[in-house]
Amino acid sequence: MTDSSFQDDVLTELGDDRLQEIAGLLGTDDTGARELVGSSVAELSGELRQAAAEPSSADEVRAAVDEVTSAEPPLQGVATLGGLAAGGLMAGVLAKLARPAANAVARRTGLPPATVDRAVDILVPVIIAALTKRAAAKKGGGDAGLGDLLGGGTQPRK
């Protein structure tokens, strides 16, 4: 496993075409799109960590992480995510967190909430693919928890 950040992994998985799609959506350039992706990934990661720490949602997050970490290595490229294989529970968890994360990013950036929401919707399957790839890469080192997958920070309580 390289030392790349989770944000770097998401940007790599996103690819230039999808990054340009986000740039077009925002009416910005590559740099502006990268900044929004970085903010959105950071916000979603924080929301996911917070959900993992909340008694009401911890079991659901843990089950989603377990599903991602037990999945077969993903197919290459975002285009293969039509069915979101290995993303079932995680897709549901991230879908619940996407709107609050998008609203927080919109408040921070001043961008229209609906625009940021659409950009975050584009990112959700990409984030699932990045999490699944990170989990597959960590399989040799034992169980990967949420903190391991997102990088930095601590794992949620078990």
Is residue 1, in this structure, part of any structural domain at all?
A: no
Is 79 inside any structural domain? yes
- First CA to last CA distance, the chain: 25
For residue 158, is it within any domain?
A: no
Cα gap 30→25, rounded to integer Å: 11
103 within domain boundaries: yes
User: For the ranges 52-66, 71-85, 91-105, 128-142, which has the lowest average pLDDT?
Assistant: 71-85
What's the longest Cα–Cα distance across the chain? 43
Does residue 114 form part of some domain?
yes
Range of the domain at 97: 6-149
The total number of structural domains in the chain stands at 1
pLDDT for 1 equals 38
Residue 104 domain flag: yes
Residue 156 lies in a domain: no
3-state secondary structure 20-71: HHHHHHHCCCHHHHHHHHHHHHHHHHHHHHHHHHCCCCHHHHHHHHHHHHHC
Give the number of other CB atoms < 10 A from CB of residue 98.
21
pLDDT tens across 106-120, in order?
Answer: 999 999 999 999 999
Q: What's the DSSP call for residue 84?
A: -
Overall pTM > 0.75? yes
Tokens of 138: 């960590």
Q: Packing angle between helix 88-109 and helix 30-53, nearest 10 degrees?
A: 120
Tens-digit pLDDT profile for residues 5-43? 999 999 999 999 999 999 999 999 999 999 999 999 999
**Rounded Cα–Cα distance for residues 134 and 63 (Å):** 17
Q: What is the pLDDT of residue 72?
A: 58
Closest Cα to residue 95, out of 49, 50, 47, 58?
Answer: 47
Structural domain contains residue 17: yes
